[in-house]
Amino acid sequence: MTTEAKVGAFVLGCFAILAFTVVYLLNAQFSGGTVPYRTYLRYAGGLEPGASVLFGGITAGKITAVRPWSTDPTRIEILLEVKQGTPLNEKSVAKLGLTSIMNSASLSITTGSNDAKRLPSGSSIPSQEAASIDEIAGKMATVADNANALIVQVQGELQGISGDARNLLANLNTVTGPPTQQKIQAVLDHVNNLLATEGPKIDRISDQLVSLSQHADDTIQNVNGTVTDIREPARKDLAELQDTLLQAKKLLADMQVMVRANDYKIDDTVENLREATENLDQLTDSVKQRPWSLVRIRQPKERKVPQ
């Protein structure tokens, strides 16, 4: 075998080894380390096997099959595989999307919630229907029809508004015409004459007000001085009155103590007065019955009647 043949065989062998390594790595990435899931849509929008699966906008897997669902033929069953460790959860939602404007359709899955339970392998991902091109075109046609009707209505209203604006401008021209301008000029001239005539009076009144305010300030200052002068003697009188009241209170307290200490003497005095009163009553009765007792000590003997 020539040297060229040996070199060619060596190059072909290296190329075969490189191709085998690349195929192995691709199979290990997309087959050995993937997890299968499925979802269902009513409109697939051109999804095909091999299309990208995006999780939060990041490529996470690929579509393995797109077919009508055997249980409900009105829905499309989409089988997919994502990289192992992709955190699909119960709040994740699958919907039709585009990787870019120039690329084909893809399946977009939202990230869901961190608190939601993770989806096990082979489970169904909740889906959300995307509007088809036909539906979008129908809605745009409806919007266009409504826009045409709205434009016609606006044109009619604009014609009415323009007519009202013309009437308003005509009224403004009438209001701001020469007669009105002359009247306004006459009013302004009258105001100027009034200000020129009454200006000195207003100045005098303002001077009088200033003088009055100064006089009021002087009066207030005098009142403040008078109040200040009277305040100290009033405080002294109040202090003396307070001392007098305290002394009177103390005297009343002493008298109360003395009266309580002489309660029994007062009772004896009252009893003696009562006895003296009774004796005086008896003396009065005795004087009434025997008035001579005040002159004679003994009662005279009774006289005998002569025979």
For the chain, report the end-to-end CA distance as a whole number of angstroms.
223
Say if 265 falls within a structural domain: no
Tokens of 298: 């003994």
Task: Write down the pLDDT at residue 273.
Answer: 82
Task: Write down the pLDDT at residue 100.
Answer: 55
Cα–Cα distance measured from residue 72 to residue 92, given in angstroms and rounded to the nearest whole number: 23
Which range of residues forms the domain containing residue 171? 131-176
Task: Write down the pLDDT at residue 130.
Answer: 75
Tokens of 223: 């009142």
Question: CA angle 133-134-135, nearest 5°?
Answer: 90
User: Of 130, 163, 187, at which residue does a domain stop?
Assistant: 130
Q: Same domain, yes or no, for 84 and 137?
A: no
Task: Write down the pLDDT at residue 27.
Answer: 58
pTM: 0.38
Cα–Cα distance measured from residue 180 to residue 60, given in angstroms and rounded to the nearest whole number: 81
Task: Write down the pLDDT at residue 302.
Answer: 61
Q: Same domain, yes or no, for 111 and 158?
A: no
Task: Write down the pLDDT at residue 29.
Answer: 53
Q: Same domain, yes or no, for 105 and 172?
A: no
- Check: CB of residue 108 under 8 Å from CB of residue 56: no
**Number of other residues whose CB lies within 10 A of the CB of residue 48:** 11
Q: Same domain, yes or no, for 145 and 77?
A: no
Sheet holding 58-68, edge to edge: 34-41, 76-83, 58-68, 52-55, 105-109, 94-98
- Check: CB of residue 98 under 8 Å from CB of residue 105: yes
**Number of other residues whose CB lies within 10 A of the CB of residue 108:** 20
Task: Write down the pLDDT at residue 224.
Answer: 78
Task: Write down the pLDDT at residue 181.
Answer: 76
DSSP state of 127: B
Say if 54 falls within a structural domain: yes
Q: Same domain, yes or no, for 107 and 38?
A: yes
Q: Same domain, yes or no, for 149 and 171?
A: yes
Tokens of 214: 């100064």
Q: Same domain, yes or no, for 40 and 96?
A: yes
- Check: CB of residue 122 under 8 Å from CB of residue 93: no
For 125, left (φ over 0), alpha (ψ -120 to 50), or beta? beta
Query: Model confidence over 9-31: pLDDT tens digits?
Result: 777 777 788 876 766 565 555 55
Tokens of 146: 């409504």
Task: Write down the pLDDT at residue 112.
Answer: 92
DSSP state of 251: H
DSSP state of 291: G
- Check: CB of residue 96 under 8 Å from CB of residue 47: yes
- Check: CB of residue 299 under 8 Å from CB of residue 290: yes
Task: Write down the pLDDT at residue 287.
Answer: 72
Q: Strand 105-109 vs strand 52-55: parallel, antiparallel, or unpaired?
A: parallel
| The total number of structural domains that make up the chain | 2
The amino acid that residue 164 corresponds to is D
Q: Same domain, yes or no, for 41 and 115?
A: yes
Cβ burial 3-26 (10 Å sphere, 16+ → b, else e):
eeeeeeeeeeeeeeeeeeeeeeee
* pLDDT per residue of the chain (307 residues) written in tens, 0 to 9: 577 666 677 777 777 888 767 665 655 555 558 899 999 999 888 889 999 999 998 999 999 999 999 999 899 999 999 998 899 999 999 998 875 555 678 899 999 999 999 999 999 999 988 766 666 667 777 777 777 778 878 877 877 787 788 888 777 777 677 777 777 888 888 888 877 887 787 888 888 888 888 887 888 888 777 777 777 788 888 888 888 888 888 888 888 887 777 766 777 777 878 888 888 888 787 777 776 666 655 555 666 666 5
Cα–Cα distance measured from residue 11 to residue 4, given in angstroms and rounded to the nearest whole number: 11
Q: Same domain, yes or no, for 114 and 145?
A: no
Q: Same domain, yes or no, for 136 and 124?
A: no
Q: Same domain, yes or no, for 71 and 126?
A: yes
